Amino acid sequence: MLEKKLTVAIVMPVYNEKNYIAEVVKRVMDTGVPTELIIIDDCSKDGTRDELQCIKKGWSYKNCILKVVLHAKNAGKGAALRTGFKNVTADIVIIQDADFEYDPKDYPKLLQPIFDGKADVVFGSRFLGDSHRVLFFWHMLGNKCLTFVSNMLSNLNLTDMETGYKAFKMDVLGKINLKSDRFGFEPEITAKVAKTRCRIYETSISYSGRTYEEGKKISWKDGIAAFWHIVRFNLFS
């Protein structure tokens, strides 16, 4: 059983996830982990905002504060996360995508190294041995190439830099000035936490990737841009 020694905020960027958002929130809250859930809607156009209003009206989790922030225009995942981080008052923050690719049941794995006093930042790796949905060879290869280049420049030995599951102590995250608006957030935060010399851990997580028909948004163009972000934030920032 995971012992809660510190308060935990879940920051969830959302864009056009009407069909998933209510169930994702339920799965997050069923863990009993968060003391804050901060949802940032990045100007959804598919009815997600109506779903969020229903979630707010029916909120019944007395041990967790719900905050919903609405962007007036679409600004990207990185911008949504910056908004979310500004609203965190807890000791630790976990990033949670608003789909079923990452399982909130893995929160204990992300949190335990921090609770044990061993880590300041924890990466959840999709490539360390837990179960995963079998999809997209070229995506997997691209992720590993990006991680390899990132490791060379940051002098880390991560297996999955691009993972969407990351946990941070807020006293570390609060010292980092983030700039990326879109999916450049992953290489940027990796480069910048490496420069802080904080204690970084990696743990296995399960993963159920989506197809594009199911709503996956990241594309090959974001992969190409990620190489530039790795170089930019490791060498020039």
Domain range for residue 45? 8-236
Is the pLDDT at 33 greater than 90? The verdict is yes
Is the pLDDT at 231 greater than 90? The verdict is yes
Query: pTM of this prediction?
Result: 0.89
Q: How many domains does the chain have?
A: 1
Is the pLDDT at 4 greater than 90? The verdict is no
Residue at 147 is within a domain:
yes
CATH code of residue 65: 3.90.550.10
- State residue 212's pLDDT score: 47
Non-local (6+) Cβ contacts of 227 within 8 A are 146, 149
Residue at 117 is within a domain:
yes
Is the pLDDT at 133 greater than 80? The verdict is no
Residue at 56 is within a domain:
yes
Task: Give the residue ranges of DSSP H helices in the chain.
Answer: 21-30, 48-57, 77-86, 107-115, 137-154, 170-173, 185-196, 220-231
Residue at 3 is within a domain:
no
